[in-house]
Amino acid sequence: MHPRPILNFLGLLVLFLGLSMAVPLAVSIVFEDGGADALALSMAASSAAGLLLFLSTRSREEVQLGHRDGAAIVALGWALAGLVGTLPYLLSGAVPGFTNAYFESISGFTTTGASILSDIEALPEGILLWRSLTQWFGGMGIIVLSVAILPYLGIGGMQLYKAEVPSPVVDKLKPRISETAKTLWRIYILLTAVEILLLLAGGMSLFESACHAFCTMPTGGFSPMNAGVAHYESAYFDGVILVFMLMAGVNFSLHYRFMKGNLSAFPRDPEFLAFLGLFAAFTLAVTLDIHGSIHRSLSEAFRYASFQVGSILTTTGFATADFERWPACSRLILLLSMFIGGMAGSTGGGIKVMRIVLLAKHAHREVRRIIHPHAVISVKLGGKAVADEVLSSVWGFFLLFVGLFVVSTLVMAAIGLDLVTAVSSVAASIGNIGPGLGAVGPVRNYLGIPEAGKWVLIFCMLLGRLEVYTVIVLLVPEYWRR
Amino acid sequence: MHPRPILNFLGLLVLFLGLSMAVPLAVSIVFEDGGADALALSMAASSAAGLLLFLSTRSREEVQLGHRDGAAIVALGWALAGLVGTLPYLLSGAVPGFTNAYFESISGFTTTGASILSDIEALPEGILLWRSLTQWFGGMGIIVLSVAILPYLGIGGMQLYKAEVPSPVVDKLKPRISETAKTLWRIYILLTAVEILLLLAGGMSLFESACHAFCTMPTGGFSPMNAGVAHYESAYFDGVILVFMLMAGVNFSLHYRFMKGNLSAFPRDPEFLAFLGLFAAFTLAVTLDIHGSIHRSLSEAFRYASFQVGSILTTTGFATADFERWPACSRLILLLSMFIGGMAGSTGGGIKVMRIVLLAKHAHREVRRIIHPHAVISVKLGGKAVADEVLSSVWGFFLLFVGLFVVSTLVMAAIGLDLVTAVSSVAASIGNIGPGLGAVGPVRNYLGIPEAGKWVLIFCMLLGRLEVYTVIVLLVPEYWRR
């Protein structure tokens, strides 16, 4: 463990977040929304604190950061970003109390999208833009995490992705991470810009277009409107946002390879095919389920079903319908989608399609092994045998994810939530979706959850976002020895 | 595949079940309950059919049965026993319609205990004894299955138990299975007899004592009373039945070793300690949860909590309280217990404690592997390293179990059940518990489930009881080749 370079990095992060508040500050000044003072103060305080921490921990000697440092940087970085994010909320009085502010801020940086706000439209535009930016920055963090860090920490089977993009060497983590990250960030920024343009073209204001795009690409799901995307009642906006949610749920290295001219990058990727297959199957089932009971016309049923399945499967969490009122089968499919999540290497949360595919293939192999007890049968992905170590890592991830989901749900129920709300609030938090079912359904919010419950959910959001292991290792005494 | 000896064995099974109907027939004659005609006819028909099948498929040459034959015998045996079991129900008119009769019969032979009967006490005593006997015979079948067959088929990690008791060799499955089975059956019969005596000593009638004991030792849960064990409102009966449920949920080879004089058999078994630990922890949590909200006195809360946790964790399904009205946390703990189930090698269903222990240890190892990426860390059980092949088999089992649970729940919801009923009816069926939550709660029954839903649940009961793999391999085309 090297505390000095870790603190140095954290200082840089806080400085960056502080400086970035210049953008919402400018918006607040232009809109004269009354949020400028709070944003200016937040910007000054965090920039100063970040700069101080950065300068006081600088060191001339180049330290080689190991994988222990990696886990600490990631977990502390997210927790600290959440803290910085509360400043504009608290100083402007937009969010009442520290717990609520930290909940909203962590929900932003983990790109969850669960909110404690009841009247969103009453808040200053600058504050709302900051809220959207927390998600957008969270998404940038996830890209680095899932494509450049996790594969090298050997976490949850992500080592499969080691060779996908220009990549760092374990021992010299720092210099080459930035190379990989920059490449993928360019794609992320490009897609965000294209979405803003398409929303503008449909007649949405620049402010609202930016806010929605900043929350689509990280699969975040915050909206500046009280009714969310449902506010517009527009098939065009639904379609644009759905397409970008799906793109955000795809492994960014596929976008990279596609843009490099590899046109078969998508159809050749088994995880992508499974992701599309799940999206298509779930959309079909929900369309048939809500057709008749909720929507008279089949095309309308398809429109709302596809948007909602895409939104939940990619773990974005935008809503165009009150799916809390949909039949049980549709609600169960959405609940199941919360666990599956997007592709590995995307900004989506959940268990990830790659892991679900490997788990299913593993189960299939075990069935075949009973039929052929003496044969050696390996699990293959895209024609290549998957190492047992990778499978083992995936299984461990799956069990930790499910185990922590079960324990957290029991705690939420013990705190006093009803069964459906306890189950779905934890699923929506650990999967980084946002809206759940019951008291935290799409047209309601998390304000009424008891204080202790909010902290459980904050922990779940971090757990899910940091792929469980990164948080869990920090809680093991062994990690801190030596 | 050897169809002739398989059919020969099935003939013997049907003959045995037919002849065994002599016992309920005698009861019907003594009680003059009006069920004698139906039982006599059922007995004659099944004995004759069984004898005919047995004689027509006899063969002089000794065929060595392979593991494919094993799976076929097990799956077909249970399905066929269910068919024979419907005869007394249908001929006496006790159960309306074939689907209901097959549901009740399969629920018996799989020792699930889910019932479609509304007024149980109105039925002839002979029919009720037959209903209890289906569970008792089911339990005998499970003992053979889990201690003598599954370990040799390499199913779901049961190969861990290969060396536990005098055991057959894979190639000569038949002769030595009966040896193992007889040893354990003696223990099963002995414990059943002791339970009958203890219930008699408390003042329960011989008929009711026998019925309850026949349904406790197989962790079945059928009761001849409409209100189940709650009928007696007796702490003594609750206590006796709880102790025997727990004994039924323990690996029978531990009972065997204990009776052979190995007094440290129980405290040295890691699975047993985990089983007791789960029982204690869940009982404590439920006691605290229902104390105050449901029961004023702590001792009363403990009595109902311990009975219900013991009943659901061992997958028996007896109820002394309407736990549907308990707070969400207690209901979630009971729902979780349905998945965990009893110990491997017991008559209990569910995933089994041994597998849960291995899964948890595996997850712990993966966390440690991230901290020590270059160390070789093995999963140990009771001080011995567990082979990766066994772990792999356990994982495969877990995924198939959870996957089939999810798919079946979606089907039940699509059929029209509400969310809680869909989830809990499938959990209670695939885990072989019986009562669930919602419309299939402990004071209600399965009569109102739509016809198609009943067949889904019948399939789930068989899947759970036959450890999933045994049924699934039969559905794979590869299994039937050659």
- Our CA-based measurement puts residue B256 at a distance from the nearest CA of chain A, in whole angstroms, of 29
Count of A–B CB contacts within 8 Å?
A: 142
In B, minimum Cα distance to A394 occurs at: B366
H runs (alpha helix) in B341-418: 353-371, 388-415
Chain B partners within 8 Å of A393 (Cβ) = 366, 369
- First and final C-alpha spacing in chain A: 8
The Cα–Cα gap between B101 and A142 comes to 55
B177 pLDDT band, cuts 50/70/90, is low
| pLDDT at site A182 | 84
Name, of A172-176, B289-293, B417-421, the range with top average pLDDT.
B417-421
| pLDDT at site B145 | 84
Asked whether the predicted pLDDT for residue A172 surpasses 60, the reply is no
B289 and A370 within 8 Å at the Cβ level: the answer is no
Please indicate whether residue B443 or residue B482 has the higher confidence score (pLDDT): B443
A332 and B368 within 8 Å at the Cβ level: the answer is no
Chain B partners within 8 Å of A474 (Cβ) = none
A366 and B397 within 8 Å at the Cβ level: the answer is yes
| pLDDT at site B173 | 42
- pLDDT tens for A272-303 read 999 999 999 999 999 999 998 888 899 999 99
A370 and B473 within 8 Å at the Cβ level: the answer is yes
Chain A partners within 8 Å of B396 (Cβ) = 362-363, 365-367
Q: What is the mean pLDDT of residues A197-208?
A: 97
Chain B partners within 8 Å of A371 (Cβ) = 68, 473, 476, 478-479
Asked whether the predicted pLDDT for residue B160 surpasses 90, the reply is no
A204 pLDDT band, cuts 50/70/90, is very high
Q: What is the mean pLDDT of residues A62-69?
A: 74
Lowest-confidence pick of B157-171, B315-329, B330-344, B365-379: B157-171
Of B363, B369, B476, the CB nearest to A371: B476
| pLDDT at site A409 | 97
CA B234 vs CA B296, B307, B346, B452, B476: distances in Å: 18, 12, 27, 39, 50
Asked whether the predicted pLDDT for residue A174 surpasses 60, the reply is no
Of A332, A362, A365, the CB nearest to B419: A332
Mean pLDDT of chain A: 91
| pLDDT at site A177 | 65
Residue with tokens 């949405």: A204
In B, minimum Cα distance to A293 occurs at: B416
Question: A180 is written with which tokens?
Answer: 């990989």
- Our CA-based measurement puts residue A376 at a distance from the nearest CA of chain B, in whole angstroms, of 11
| pLDDT at site B401 | 95
Is the CB of residue B232 less than 8 Å from the CB of residue B204? yes
Lowest-confidence pick of A66-70, A199-203, A438-442, B192-196: A66-70
B420 and A420 within 8 Å at the Cβ level: the answer is yes
| pLDDT at site A375 | 83
Of B328, B410, B420, the CB nearest to A422: B328
Lowest-confidence pick of A108-112, A181-185, B82-86, B183-187: A181-185
Please indicate whether residue A376 or residue A412 has the higher confidence score (pLDDT): A412
- Our CA-based measurement puts residue A340 at a distance from the nearest CA of chain B, in whole angstroms, of 12
| pLDDT at site A384 | 87
Question: B27 is written with which tokens?
Answer: 């009861």
Greatest Cα-to-Cα distance within chain A, rounded to the nearest angstrom? 75
List the single best residue of B74, B152, B155, B329 to mutate versus A (max A Cβ within 10 A): B329
- First and final C-alpha spacing in chain B: 8
Chain B partners within 8 Å of A336 (Cβ) = 406, 410
A403 and B336 within 8 Å at the Cβ level: the answer is no
- pLDDT tens for B213-271 read 999 999 999 999 999 999 999 999 999 999 999 999 999 989 988 888 888 889 989 99
| pLDDT at site A169 | 39
Of A285, A359, A418, the CB nearest to B328: A418
- Our CA-based measurement puts residue A368 at a distance from the nearest CA of chain B, in whole angstroms, of 8
Q: What is the mean pLDDT of residues A256-276?
A: 91
Question: A142 is written with which tokens?
Answer: 């996830």
| pLDDT at site A464 | 95
- Our CA-based measurement puts residue A50 at a distance from the nearest CA of chain B, in whole angstroms, of 30
Q: What is the mean pLDDT of residues A371-387?
A: 86
In A, minimum Cα distance to B469 occurs at: A367
Residues 6+ apart with CB under 8 A from B60: none
- Our CA-based measurement puts residue A474 at a distance from the nearest CA of chain B, in whole angstroms, of 10
List the single best residue of A370, A404, A456, A480 to mutate versus B (max B Cβ within 10 A): A370
Chain B partners within 8 Å of A479 (Cβ) = 371
Q: What is the mean pLDDT of residues A123-139?
A: 97
A171 pLDDT band, cuts 50/70/90, is very low
B476 and A367 within 8 Å at the Cβ level: the answer is yes
B362 and A392 within 8 Å at the Cβ level: the answer is yes
- pLDDT tens for A389-447 read 889 889 999 999 999 999 999 999 999 999 999 999 999 999 999 999 999 998 899 99
- Our CA-based measurement puts residue B295 at a distance from the nearest CA of chain A, in whole angstroms, of 17
Lowest-confidence pick of B30-44, B169-183, B254-268, B385-399: B169-183
Chain B partners within 8 Å of A419 (Cβ) = 328, 331-332, 420
B332 and A422 within 8 Å at the Cβ level: the answer is yes
Lowest-confidence pick of A267-271, A450-454, B102-106: A267-271
Q: Which residues face B291 on adjacent strands?
A: B295
Question: A287 is written with which tokens?
Answer: 């369309």
Strands B380-381 and A384-385: unpaired
Chain A partners within 8 Å of B441 (Cβ) = none
A60 pLDDT band, cuts 50/70/90, is confident
The Cα–Cα gap between A171 and A71 comes to 14
DSSP code at position A216: H
* Selection from A131, A161, A160, A137 nearest residue A147 by Cα: A161
A162 pLDDT band, cuts 50/70/90, is low
Is the CB of residue B466 less than 8 Å from the CB of residue B75? yes
Q: Percent of chain A at pLDDT above 70? A: 96
Element (H, E) at A238: helix A235-248
Give the CA dihedral B192, B197, B201, B202, nearest 10 degrees. 10
Mean pLDDT of chain B: 91
In B, minimum Cα distance to A155 occurs at: B370
Question: B192 is written with which tokens?
Answer: 């059943």
In the chain, the amino acid numbered B320 is T
Residue with tokens 């950061």: A65
B363 and A403 within 8 Å at the Cβ level: the answer is yes
| pLDDT at site A482 | 60
In B, minimum Cα distance to A415 occurs at: B329
A332 and B422 within 8 Å at the Cβ level: the answer is yes
| pLDDT at site A122 | 94
| pLDDT at site A196 | 98
Residue with tokens 């204690």: B280
| pLDDT at site A480 | 80
Q: Angle at the Cα of B139 (from B133 to B141), degrees rounded to 5?
A: 105
Asked whether the predicted pLDDT for residue A21 surpasses 80, the reply is yes
Asked whether the predicted pLDDT for residue B5 surpasses 80, the reply is yes
Of B327, B329, B371, the CB nearest to A479: B371
B183 pLDDT band, cuts 50/70/90, is confident
| pLDDT at site B16 | 96
